[in-house]
Homo-oligomer: A and B are copies of this chain.
Amino acid sequence: MKRRIYLRMKSLEEAREMWLARFDLEGMARSEEIPVAAARGRVTAAPIMARRSSPAAHQAAMDGFAVAAAATFGATPDNPKHLAVGQAAFPINTGHLMPPGTDAVIMVEQVPDPEADPITVEGPTFPWQHVRRVGEDLVTGEMVLPEGVEITPWAQGALLAAGVTAAPVRRRPRVAIIPTGTELIPVTELERELPAGKLPEFNSVILSGLVAAAGGEPSVRPIVRDDPEVLAAALKEAVDAADLVLINAGSSAGTEDYTYRAIAALGEVLVHGVAMMPGKPTVLGVVQGKPVIGNPGYPVSAVLSFEQFAAPLIAGLAGVRLAPRPSLTVYPAQNLPSKPGLTEFIRVTLGRVGDKVIATPLPRGAGTITSLVRADGLLTVPALSEGLEEDRPVAAELLVTPEDIEGTLVVLGSHDNTIDLLANLLHRRDHRLRLSSGHVGSLGGLMALRQGRAHLGGSHMLDPETNTYNVPFIERYLPGVPLKLINLAWREQGLMVAPGNPKQIKSIRDLVRPELRFINRQRGAGTRLLLDYLLKQEGLDPDQVQGYAREEYTHMAVAVNVFSGTADVGLGILAAARALGLDFIPLLPERYDLVVPESTFTDARFQTLLSVIRAPEFQAAATALGGYDLKDCGTILWEQ
């Protein structure tokens, strides 16, 4: 096994500058002629001149009678002119062609009896009155569109009006996408169960969409297995057929770093490794004068690297301008340390709480594609910085509209699946509203409320002393803050064990059996408090529980430990057990409440949310999930 270190790793700015300066995009761009009717959104490759004038003949601009203006000269109400219909006056409608010999239209409203023949004309009409003349809009030879502009629907109309039926446009650059990896199976086969040892290949779909959005024409090549010769052959073929090639994955620092070698074998590697995160394992090269990009394998890295290095080239070749994302000043909800020397992009959700738009970070791993799906914005930590500071303003690139942010309610605290249901129903009720949830644990939610980082909290903390939920904690951490405690649901907590319950675990008392390995939740988690309560109730000592000190941060992480055999048992909710097919031993229902400060409660957006919570639709959907009891749902249980 050889180690490849990014010896030549470049800063993001350096890499971008060198990369973009390398290509003469205007010189490389190609054009084609396509029907005007199919040219919407394309970019003109040359100025387009009118082939005929528009109107091409004189047209009536009003409904009435076409006449020769001279025939009306001298007419007055007392001394009217009489014009024979069909000879000196022709009934005509707006847009119709003027009969030969006529040069003016008398509006129908000005003719005393439009049904008479001859008609009576009570005043003079001037030449060209109410007539759209030849060339009034466009003259033969006049420029209809310059080059380099996007063809709008009305520009299509203008071109056709000018007799132009085919338009010279920039050809969409052809972008070949080569997925690499022996373990990958194509998306076309995802319908079936995933075969053991196989992973779904979906980056090519993401990249295809990004290519199209940048103005290119994607073409996904067959998956290439981890074999240097096969990859080199596939690259050669792709370079011959395309204007730009993306090799996805295969560019990690490991033994399978064939992308680098394939590009180096056929052409030149300019950059191997960019000091950005996600996106570090990016390879930039040139083969036969064409750009070839080794795009990282993790989906978030793939997207961010694409935006920096592929999108500007594709747009440049297409003649398309990529509008920069709108920017907004936001306040990080927490300190965000970042490795100096790397430009880091942090996905965040955004919501206005009070005066400030609060940025709550999403998981930072490059493999968590949901962090992009859920992101409202991107924060950039410059390479020279050690991170972003809590509550210190920074610019966020927006992935949603400013209106979305104004319509967002931020709930931080313990996660529960019914929050997803609520988010969905709230958005259905009012498309301007969104519910953004961050999973920071029950106590984390109370802290967020104290610091003004959330509109509401989600909490299920049982106080073992008083056997009450949430109130003692609120009194301790949010003393004197006017707020209401509103129940969302009771949910079943229980023990998750391997399928078939091979260790015959029946109750909380089994946890002290010396041969059993338990997996715990972190301090401050409601489920941890619940465990402590249950142990105390049974008179058991936490020290007797093997693995009490091993902590996980989510129900699901606990379930994964049990699923993988790293632990025999954990405490959690039914949904997590179900997700991995574990057995579930119900212990007791626990109360999950929303903590709602008065300022939120009086907010119209929250009132809409409350009406959604109290509607039968939500309660039926939550019941259908299993493990929930909605008896107190929407009830104000307590306030201070």
Q: Which A residues have a C-beta under 8 Å from some C-beta of B? A: 1-3, 36-37, 40, 47, 52-59, 61, 63, 91, 93-97, 103, 108-109, 114-115, 127-128, 132-149, 152-158, 160-161, 163, 165, 181, 183, 187, 190-191, 194, 197, 199-200, 202-203, 205-210, 212-213, 249, 252-256, 297-299, 303, 321, 323, 363, 365, 367-370, 372-373, 401, 417, 420-421, 423-424, 427-428, 431, 550, 556-557, 559-560, 563-564, 566, 575-576, 578-580
Is there an interface contact between B142 and A579, defined as CB atoms closer than 8 Å? Answer: yes
Is there an interface contact between B40 and A209, defined as CB atoms closer than 8 Å? Answer: yes
With A424-B143, A578-B141 as contacts: A156 and B209 at CB distance below 8 Å: yes
Which residues of the partner chain B approach A132 to less than 8 Å between Cβ atoms? 365, 367
Cβ-neighbour of A428 out of B138, B148, B249, B255 (below 8 A): B148
Determine which residue in A127, A152, A254, A566 has the highest number of CB atoms from chain B within 10 A of its CB, and name it. A254
Is there an interface contact between A190 and B202, defined as CB atoms closer than 8 Å? Answer: no
Is there an interface contact between A157 and B369, defined as CB atoms closer than 8 Å? Answer: yes
Which residues of the partner chain B approach A161 to less than 8 Å between Cβ atoms? 200, 202, 299, 369
| Bound CA–CA A137/B133 (angstroms) | 66
Determine how close the nearest CB of chain B comes to the CB of A324; give it in whole angstroms: 9
* 10 A-B pairs in the complex with CB atoms less than 8 angstroms apart: A54-B369, A56-B194, A63-B254, A136-B367, A141-B417, A142-B579, A144-B370, A148-B427, A156-B202, A157-B299
Which residues of the partner chain B approach A256 to less than 8 Å between Cβ atoms? 93
Determine how close the nearest CB of chain B comes to the CB of A213; give it in whole angstroms: 7
Cβ-neighbour of A160 out of B59, B152, B202 (below 8 A): B202
With A140-B579, A190-B163 as contacts: A91 and B157 at CB distance below 8 Å: no
| Bound CA–CA A39/B427 (angstroms) | 20
Is there an interface contact between A52 and B154, defined as CB atoms closer than 8 Å? Answer: no
Determine how close the nearest CB of chain B comes to the CB of A364; give it in whole angstroms: 12
With A108-B254, A417-B142, A420-B143 as contacts: A36 and B205 at CB distance below 8 Å: yes
Is there an interface contact between B145 and A114, defined as CB atoms closer than 8 Å? Answer: no
With A114-B3, A252-B63 as contacts: A158 and B369 at CB distance below 8 Å: yes
Which residues of the partner chain B approach A191 to less than 8 Å between Cβ atoms? 165
Determine how close the nearest CB of chain B comes to the CB of A53; give it in whole angstroms: 6
| Bound CA–CA A187/B115 (angstroms) | 36
Determine how close the nearest CB of chain B comes to the CB of A379; give it in whole angstroms: 17
Among residues of B, the one whose C-beta sits closest to the C-beta of A415 is B142
Is there an interface contact between B199 and A1, defined as CB atoms closer than 8 Å? Answer: no
Is there an interface contact between A428 and B97, defined as CB atoms closer than 8 Å? Answer: no
Cβ-neighbour of A202 out of B157, B556, B566 (below 8 A): B157
| Bound CA–CA A420/B138 (angstroms) | 13
Which residues of the partner chain B approach A564 to less than 8 Å between Cβ atoms? 58, 103, 133-134
With A137-B370, A249-B95, A580-B135 as contacts: A153 and B190 at CB distance below 8 Å: no
With A95-B298, A299-B157, A578-B140 as contacts: A152 and B252 at CB distance below 8 Å: no
Is there an interface contact between A154 and B373, defined as CB atoms closer than 8 Å? Answer: yes
With A254-B63, A431-B321, A564-B58 as contacts: A153 and B3 at CB distance below 8 Å: no
In the complex, besides A93-B254, A139-B579, 6 extra interface pairs with C-beta distance below 8 angstroms are: A37-B187, A133-B560, A136-B365, A149-B427, A154-B369, A157-B299
Determine how close the nearest CB of chain B comes to the CB of A411; give it in whole angstroms: 14
Is there an interface contact between B199 and A95, defined as CB atoms closer than 8 Å? Answer: yes
| Bound CA–CA A200/B51 (angstroms) | 13
| Bound CA–CA A557/B103 (angstroms) | 13
With A135-B559, A153-B210 as contacts: A148 and B252 at CB distance below 8 Å: no
With A156-B206, A367-B61 as contacts: A427 and B146 at CB distance below 8 Å: yes
| Bound CA–CA A395/B135 (angstroms) | 32
Cβ-neighbour of A401 out of B183, B213, B323, B566 (below 8 A): B323
Is there an interface contact between B109 and A3, defined as CB atoms closer than 8 Å? Answer: yes
Is there an interface contact between B3 and A139, defined as CB atoms closer than 8 Å? Answer: no
Determine how close the nearest CB of chain B comes to the CB of A63; give it in whole angstroms: 4
Which residues of the partner chain B approach A2 to less than 8 Å between Cβ atoms? 114
With A95-B252, A163-B190 as contacts: A157 and B205 at CB distance below 8 Å: yes
| Bound CA–CA A228/B296 (angstroms) | 63
Determine how close the nearest CB of chain B comes to the CB of A249; give it in whole angstroms: 7
| Bound CA–CA A156/B209 (angstroms) | 9
Which residues of the partner chain B approach A1 to less than 8 Å between Cβ atoms? 91, 108, 114-115
Is there an interface contact between B202 and A370, defined as CB atoms closer than 8 Å? Answer: no
